[in-house]
Amino acid sequence: MNGLAYHLDPARGRNGLEARTQELPEPGPHQVLVKVLAASLNRRDLMLMDGTYPLPATPGIVPLSDGVGEVIALGDKVTRAALGDRVTATYFVHWVDGPQRLAHAAEQYGANHNGMLATYALLEEDSVVHVPEHLTDAEAATLTCAGLVAWAALTTPVPVQPGQTVLTVGSGTVALFAVQHAGMLGARVISVTSTQEKAERFRKLGAEEVIVRAETPDWEQEVAQLTGGDGADHILDTVGMPTLPKSVASGAYNAQLTMIGAMPGPALTEGDGNPFGNSYLSIRRIAVGSRTHFEAMNRAITEHRLRPVIDRTFPFEQAIEAYRYFSEEDPFGKVVVTMS
Ligand SMILES: NC(=O)c1ccc[n+]([C@@H]2O[C@H](COP(=O)([O-])OP(=O)(O)OC[C@H]3O[C@@H](n4cnc5c(N)ncnc54)[C@H](OP(=O)(O)O)[C@@H]3O)[C@@H](O)[C@H]2O)c1
């Protein structure tokens, strides 16, 4: 039975989405065919449209890494999924476990493998991940990118310990998941955001303290005060270079700082040039996570009945409006496209 798929023409920038009839795909021996139930947007999906993502989008690709579907057909060698299962997929088509390699980064759903903004999606068996049962389809469609990178940041290489302080910087969906995950891990959360309105929502999500950066521009000093002078143990900077020096200054002597945000900004050579001072804080950059990380996150989500934050849901026919809303309206939580 034919369906409908959106295709991306990167040469047309933000006008590059077009819906076309989709023929029912036939799974290869190690592939799983799903009927998509819902899909959601990430910052990278706009970067792919704009041509600013490190991996260029293949012209005509079906976009979106994040989505959930019901398995409706299987290749004859498939053992990791069964008909009727509700599954999603990893962001990197072939990163199952162990350290990430450059080859893993080179193959991504929604960039150079067809993604989730379609009636049907063909998934490689190794990338399939079962989703927590208590989540709605819309919620289950939000985990692949923002949910997992926040989880990997907090649990690898040195997991957050109960009672430690986690600082989140920014209020995109990576930061929202980080607040929820840190709560599951028993950490105390301090969040930095831009407005009082967002601050209130962060508190409701579980942040113990929220600093509004417009009112407290020297927020690193406030973090020091809130931690008895020690600084935060784990920092998730979801902004990038503009906030890096203050994130470093907010860290404890031996803290871990994970740089998730990709935003360029004033070079580190501005100011006095050495944001580290005497600290031995480590900075690392990470790229989403492996299938093993994904399955560990889903076990925790199931155990704690965590529910992702959803800002707004659009019907499939309004997927182009979903992109516009996502890029222009400053949503607080995931923007989801549902099929029914
Ligand atoms: N490495 C990975 O695996 C990975 C995975 C997912 C996303 N990412 C990247 O992580 C970043 C965050 O993604 P996201 O989807 O969670 O969020 P997002 O929608 O890109 O929003 C980032 C947030 O940063 C804050 N912000 C923006 N400009 C700022 C500035 N100049 N100074 C201070 N704060 C600023 C804003 O929050 P406030 O209004 O609260 O200040 C904004 O909501 C993006 O760059 C994305 O590409 C990387």
Token pair in block for residue 115: 């993604």
Q: Are 95 and 287 in contact (CB under 8 A)?
A: no
Q: What's the pLDDT score for residue 273?
A: 65
Mean pLDDT of 185-192: 98
What is the distance between the alpha carbons of residues 158 and 177, in angstroms, rounded to a whole number?
18
Q: Are 131 and 143 in contact (CB under 8 A)?
A: yes
Strand partners, 22: 3
- In terms of DSSP bridges, do strands 128-130 and 120-124 run parallel, antiparallel, or are they unpaired? unpaired
Q: What is the pLDDT of residues 58-87, one digit of tens each?
A: 999 999 999 999 999 999 999 999 999 999
SS3 assignment, position 4: strand
Which is the CATH superfamily of the domain at 157-285?
NAD(P)-binding Rossmann-like Domain (3.40.50.720)
**For ligand 1, atom 27: residue with the closest CA:** 239
How is the chain split into domains, by residue range? 3-145+289-338, 157-285
> 328: buried, middle or exposed (CB in 10 Å: 19+, 13-18, 0-12)?
exposed
Res 105 pLDDT > 90: yes
Q: Report the half-sphere exposure of 34 (CA within 13 A, side-chain side).
A: 29
Atom number in ligand 1 closest to CA 146: 6
Distance 314 CA to ligand 1 centre (A): 22
What is the distance between the alpha carbons of residues 22 and 339, in angstroms, rounded to a whole number?
14
Distance 195 CA to ligand 1 centre (A): 15
What is the distance between the alpha carbons of residues 161 and 132, in angstroms, rounded to a whole number?
24
Mean pLDDT of 157-179: 97
Q: What's the pLDDT score for residue 269?
A: 46
Q: Ligand 1 pocket: which of 238, 243, 259, 334 to mutate (most atoms <8 Å of CB)?
A: 238
Token pair in block for residue 329: 């309206």
Q: What is the pLDDT of residues 213-263, one digit of tens each?
A: 999 999 999 999 999 999 999 999 999 999 999 999 999 999 999 999 878
**Spatial strand order in the sheet of 251-259:** 209-212, 188-193, 165-169, 232-237, 251-259, 282-285
- Other C-beta atoms within 10 Å of 20: how many? 11
pTM confidence score:
0.95
**Helical pair 173-184 and 291-304, crossing angle rounded to 10 deg:** 60
Q: Please list every protein residue whose CB sits less than 6 Å from any atom of ligand 1.
A: 42-44, 145-146, 149, 170-175, 193-194, 198, 238-240, 242-243, 260-263, 286-288
Atom number in ligand 1 closest to CA 192: 40
Q: What is the pLDDT of residues 19-68, one digit of tens each?
A: 999 999 999 999 999 999 999 999 999 999 999 999 999 999 999 999 99
Query: Where does the pLDDT of residue 265 fall: very low under 50, low under 70, confident under 90, or very high at 90 and above?
Result: low
Q: Ligand 1 pocket: which of 171, 191, 202, 259 to mutate (most atoms <8 Å of CB)?
A: 171
Query: Where does the pLDDT of residue 268 fall: very low under 50, low under 70, confident under 90, or very high at 90 and above?
Result: very low
Q: What's the pLDDT score for residue 126?
A: 97
What is the distance between the alpha carbons of residues 296 and 169, in angstroms, rounded to a whole number?
24
**What's the gap between Cα 251 and its chain centre?**
23
Domain 3-145+289-338: state its class. Answer: alpha beta
Report angle CA 142, 147, 151 to the nearest 5 degrees: 160
What is the distance between the alpha carbons of residues 167 and 171, in angstroms, rounded to a whole number?
12
Q: Report the half-sphere exposure of 127 (CA within 13 A, side-chain side).
A: 28
**Which amino acid does the sequence have at 153?**
A
